[in-house]
Amino acid sequence: MCGINGIFAYRLGADPIDRGELARTRDHMTKRGPDDFGEWVSPEGSIGFGHRRLSIIDLSPAGAQPMTSADGKFTVTFNGEIYNYQALRRGLETRGFVFKSHSDTEVLLHLYAFKGAAMVGDLCGMFAFALWDAERRELFLARDPYGIKPRYYAHEDGTFRFASTVKALLAGGRISREPDPAGVVGFYLFGSVPEPFTTYRSIRSLPAGATITVSAAGVGEPKSYFSIPGVLKEAEAKARFEQSDDPSTSFREAMLDSVRRHLVADVPVGAFLSAGVDSGSLVGLMRDAGQSQIETITIAFEEFRGASSDEAPLAERLAQYYGTKHTTRRVDAAEFARDLPDIFAAMDQPSVDGVNTWFVSKAAHEIGLKVAISGVGGDELLGGYTTFESLPRFVGWLGRPSRTLGVREAYERAFATARKLGMRMHPKAAGLLRYGGDMPGAYLLLRGLFLPSELGEVLDDWDFTQQGLTRLDPLGRLANALKDGPSAPFGMVAAFESCFYLRNQLLRDTDWAGMAHSLEVRTPFIDSRLLCEAAPILARDDLPSGKKLLAAAPTRPLPAEILNRKKTGFGMPLQAWTRKALLSDERDEAAKGGGHKIDKAAWSRFWARRVLRMSTSA
């Protein structure tokens, strides 16, 4: 896990790149790679790579980056882990390739020499890398299928720049900070910024499961090589025609293989442990995979002590059940207030979530871990969210009324009248018939932070807002996720949750919050091979729930008190903490006449306003 960056002056005759900018961008990411740093610049000075290293595989100097092939043809800078690198290496060695290190980075160099851009289809892991082909004078960039590892880029005036974070690109000092209406509007709609947009016009995210090539001919369009909706569509067909005799065994084997892959490291691998099915099952499977010494961490909050929402006691019993070395780390409001400036500084793109991952990553770092397993992604794979039930139900209820002439207009007039009379109603209730009649609209209604019609509450510039809505096209973007995708309700919701909430919020939060503490967070549920193997099983309608399959997957299954526990999520007392930490700030703004009155019924909306301002100014 690392921080990577680069500059490529791709126009013929362009001036050499600015080495100072290359170093500033790289060193803004020091916490992503505190163990070492490196720099490579081509002989003519037209392209350069930077690298900050967090040593996980091949801790020796032989694994340092940027890394150049022995013949000088290829140079790579790489962030992530290739879990099947040993198998790939053996195959390359049989074809005559000679290795000088034991790193997965060197595998990328030789695999590209052998297969070119098609190499990405062979990779299993989380990755974002850039590879310079000196013979073709081409820069090749790739990102993993789910988008676990970030990659941002900007190009103007014949120069292409990339980095692992938006703020690192800005630290280089050569990129405009002009806001992007699509990114800002997207944040207020979803609580995170939908890719490929960022909050800056000049900076884009390379989409998950895509590659891009840059040469003297210019910057190519991103090319997709993996589609989550496409896999889910294929899974529906397989579920109808390929009935497995023992799906529980097939599911266990697929999960165990994924866990084994995610344990590949030359340093200890710990685990985040809550009182939930996902993280508990992963710890059980870690033991089945042969890891006898496991360190686990649970975050608990003083405000929850003794309440049903306190996960610590049950997590501690689960740790004892699986024989782990366990740490319970309690956090209080005072620590939150102290850390808040650092949280906003580390938050690379605004997000209404991620604070919980900040504290559990901080705890893991405190006990000396560099790698930790997380259960993030389990709900998207296994149908654990309430949206898997509520989204199809909404469409079933509201589909016909929303399409009946005059009904929607009459409802919205009645709602407006009720609000004028002072009746207290959920602000998104106004959009029930406008959005709830089809799957994309219902997802925006249920998952959205604000609805498009409410953006005037937070954005004063009408033209800016309309530009953002036009460029973002939120309903069209959601509908496109289902194009050539699944048609059954389960698969449709899984596609939405994986391509939007998981990708743009949970994974991005996991990356910035983990890397702020020099911690690599690994996600066995978020694995392209697991998806291909497990999705056909989970698409069947004659099986128990995915969570029951998962709970039974370890050789020593999860205790019933874990499986039957009411789902609470990984909650924290954020509302109470933000009220205390930001109340003086709110009073200051109110005194100036420029503040928003806090809506106690929708605290996340107040929090979103502060997040956007604080995270982009930090």
520-534 pLDDT, tens per residue?
A: 999 999 999 999 999
The whole-number pLDDT of residue 596 equals 41
Nearest partner of 506 among 525, 493, 491, judged by Cα? 525
Yes or no: say if 603 and 575 are a contact pair by the CB < 8 Å rule.
yes
Which of 337-346, 492-501, 562-571 bottoms out in mean pLDDT, i.e. has the lowest? 562-571
Q: Is the domain of 237 the same as that of 347?
A: yes
Strands 295-301 and 325-331, by their bridges, are parallel
Q: Is the domain of 48 the same as that of 195?
A: yes
Q: Is the domain of 41 the same as that of 21?
A: yes
Q: Phi and psi for 34 in degrees, rounded to 5?
A: -80, -10
478 pLDDT higher than 50: yes
The whole-number pLDDT of residue 583 equals 55
pLDDT digit string, tens, across residues 62-92:
999 999 999 999 999 999 999 999 999 999 9
Mean of the pLDDT values across residues 287-306? 92
Q: Determine, yes or no, domain membership for 540.
A: yes
The whole-number pLDDT of residue 609 equals 87
- Record the pTM: 0.93
Read off the tokens for 332. Answer: 């209080």
Read off the tokens for 213. Answer: 């090539």
Read off the tokens for 580. Answer: 């205390």
Q: What is the DSSP string of 79-135?
A: EEEETTHHHHHHHHHHTT---SSS-HHHHHHHHHHHHGGGGGGG--EEEEEEEEETT
Q: Is the domain of 316 the same as that of 456?
A: no
Q: Is the domain of 325 the same as that of 407?
A: no
Q: Is the domain of 374 the same as that of 266?
A: yes
The whole-number pLDDT of residue 580 equals 66
3-state secondary structure of 600: helix
Q: Is the domain of 208 the same as that of 323?
A: no
Q: Is the domain of 184 the same as that of 287?
A: no
Percent of the chain with pLDDT over 70: 94
Q: Determine, yes or no, domain membership for 593.
A: no
Q: Which CATH number does the domain housing residue 295 bear?
A: 3.40.50.620
Q: How confident is the model at residue 342 (pLDDT cuts 50, 70, 90)?
A: very high
The whole-number pLDDT of residue 589 equals 44
Strands 67-68 and 47-53, by their bridges, are unpaired
Q: Determine, yes or no, domain membership for 37.
A: yes
Q: Is the domain of 472 the same as that of 514?
A: no
State the total domains in the chain: 3
User: In angstroms, rounded to a whole number, what is the distance separating the alpha carbons of residues 50 and 64?
Assistant: 11
Q: Determine, yes or no, domain membership for 602.
A: no
User: Taking the CB of residue 336, how many other CB atoms lie within 10 A of it?
Assistant: 22
594 pLDDT higher than 50: no
Mean pLDDT of the chain: 91
* Domain of residue 77, residue span: 2-225
Mean of the pLDDT values across residues 402-406? 84
Residue at which a domain ends, from 531, 551, 572: 572
Handedness of CA 145, 150, 156, 161 (dihedral sign): negative
Q: Is the domain of 532 the same as that of 478?
A: no
Q: Determine, yes or no, domain membership for 78.
A: yes
Residue at which a domain ends, from 225, 248, 278: 225
Which of 127-131, 229-233, 605-609 bottoms out in mean pLDDT, i.e. has the lowest? 605-609
Q: Determine, yes or no, domain membership for 607.
A: no
The end-to-end CA distance of the chain, in Å, is 24
Q: How confident is the model at residue 9 (pLDDT cuts 50, 70, 90)?
A: very high
The whole-number pLDDT of residue 588 equals 41
What is the amino acid identity at position 134?
A
Percent of the chain with pLDDT over 90: 76
The whole-number pLDDT of residue 590 equals 37
- Torsion (CA) 377, 496, 512, 179 in degrees, nearest 10: 180
Read off the tokens for 494. Answer: 């899984």
Q: Which CATH number does the domain housing residue 112 bear?
A: 3.60.20.10
Q: Determine, yes or no, domain membership for 587.
A: no
Q: Determine, yes or no, domain membership for 497.
A: no
User: Taking the CB of residue 576, how many other CB atoms lie within 10 A of it?
Assistant: 14
Alpha-helical (H) ranges within 323-406 are 333-346, 355-366, 378-382, 387-403
Task: Calculate the CA 35 to chain-centre distance.
Answer: 24
Task: Pick 356 or 602 by higher pLDDT.
Answer: 356
Q: Is the domain of 363 the same as that of 402?
A: no
Q: Is the domain of 442 the same as that of 556?
A: no
Residue at which a domain ends, from 204, 225, 246: 225
- Provide CB contacts within 8 A for 210, sequence distance 6+: 142, 143, 222, 223, 224, 225
